[in-house]
Amino acid sequence: MEQQERVRGIIAALKDAYPDPFCALHYKKDYELMIAVRLSAQCTDERVNKITPALFARFPTLDAFADADVSEVEEYVRSCGFYKHKARDIVLACQALREKFGGKVPGTMEELLSLPGVGRKTANLLLGDIYKVPGSVVCDTHCIRITNLLGLAEGKDPAKVETQLRAILPPEESSDFCHRLVLHGRAVCVARRPQCERCCLAPYCKSFSGE
């Protein structure tokens, strides 16, 4: 089976299995998604969703975050791990949004990467979910692990995997494809106990076929 045929099959199988792809992080405002993604680094989305309601209630506006005492933000995000770095980045990023971008999350990769605590994974997610930018490839742990198993990418370096996937994925499918991989990684292709016997991607998986 040729690569592009496999890619089309994988995309179709994921669409059938997960017709409604979504970001698991809860948010109502664009900058809240930026904050939630920063908190999710080396932390589960479930844990982030447990702490953000109180965090967003305490700091209900972008200005509130920009003017916040970092030490107070730390107390709200402590259970997410690396809380000192995350709290500092949140406050500094919100200050940058207010001072440089008119209070809005910017819509280009270059601008997003200028924000404290925002790397390519976060930037791609924001571009895909907020601005629906084609070609937004979010290389989180699920994406990297599963695309390696499928034989769509090689290696664990997020930037290199992103480049490999950009070369083969239809740009208009990229963002939803990554969301679907997260859902699949949590439901079926679980890292330590993959359920290959009921995996919709088994016919396309090089790891499963032993190629």
Active-site residue identified among 121, 129, 132, 160: 121
Question: Residue 119: phi, psi to the nearest 5?
Answer: -105, -170
The answer to whether residue 121 is catalytic is yes
Residue type, 51: I
Active-site residue identified among 86, 89, 129, 140: 140
The answer to whether residue 160 is catalytic is no
Cα–Cα dist 202/132, whole Å = 29
- Using alpha carbons, select from 58, 57, 39, 59 the residue that is nearest to residue 49: 39
Cα–Cα dist 109/32, whole Å = 18
The Cα angle at residue 142 between residues 140 and 143, in degrees rounded to 5:
65
* Residues noted as catalytic: 121, 140
